[in-house]
């Protein structure tokens, strides 16, 4: 794998319930609405589950994901391809935390920050519609 080893851990407050955050992270139809710059495979299950494998694209770069852990307040993805490493998500009432480590040519901290801000915006807009 070409690139540099990078790691980043961010935690932000989000005006949303733990359940809303859970649905936004574990339901591919919701992920597709807010995850910046990534496209999913055309056929995905209703909810991510342990053992599931899928591939996303960020421009010309493919990232293979294997769901290592999928729980009510935790998601851990093992990554290969465009990123060799892992991405962990933890959340609760009003907060979400993301930890990303891997080797990549992509600017992981920037991508992670944009994703968290996009998630916050998506949940804020969704909250005003519900």
Note whether residue 130 is domain-resident: no
Percent pLDDT > 90 in the chain is 74
- Average pLDDT of the residues in 50-56: 94
pLDDT of residue 22: 96
| CA–CA dist 128, 76 (Å, integer) | 29
How much is the pTM? 0.91
78: in domain: yes
Rounded Cα gap, residues 104 and 83, in angstroms: 5
CA pseudo-torsion sign 57, 39, 107, 10: negative
| Percent of the chain predicted with pLDDT > 70 | 97
User: Which residues lie across from 90 on neighbouring strands?
Assistant: 74, 97
Domains held by the chain: number: 1
The mean pLDDT value of the chain amounts to 91
Structural domain range at position 54: 4-125
> Binning pLDDT at 50, 70 and 90, where does residue 126 land?
confident
Indicate which CATH number applies to the domain containing 85.
3.30.530.20
């Amino acid at each position: 794998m070409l690139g540099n080893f990078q790691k980043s851990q961010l935690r932000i407050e989000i005006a949303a319930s733990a359940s809303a955050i859970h649905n936004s992270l574990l339901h591919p139809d919701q992920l597709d609405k807010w995850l910046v710059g990534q496209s999913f495979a055309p056929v995905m299950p209703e909810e991510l589950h342990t053992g599931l494998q899928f591939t996303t694209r960020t421009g010309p770069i493919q990232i293979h994901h294997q769901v290592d852990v999928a729980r009510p307040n935790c998601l851990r993805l093992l990554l290969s391809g465009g990123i060799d490493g892992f991405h962990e998500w933890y959340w609760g009432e009003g907060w979400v935390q993301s930890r990303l480590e891997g080797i990549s040519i992509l600017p992981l901290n920037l991508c992670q920050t944009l994703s968290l801000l996009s998630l916050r915006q998506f949940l804020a807009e969704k909250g005003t519609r519900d």
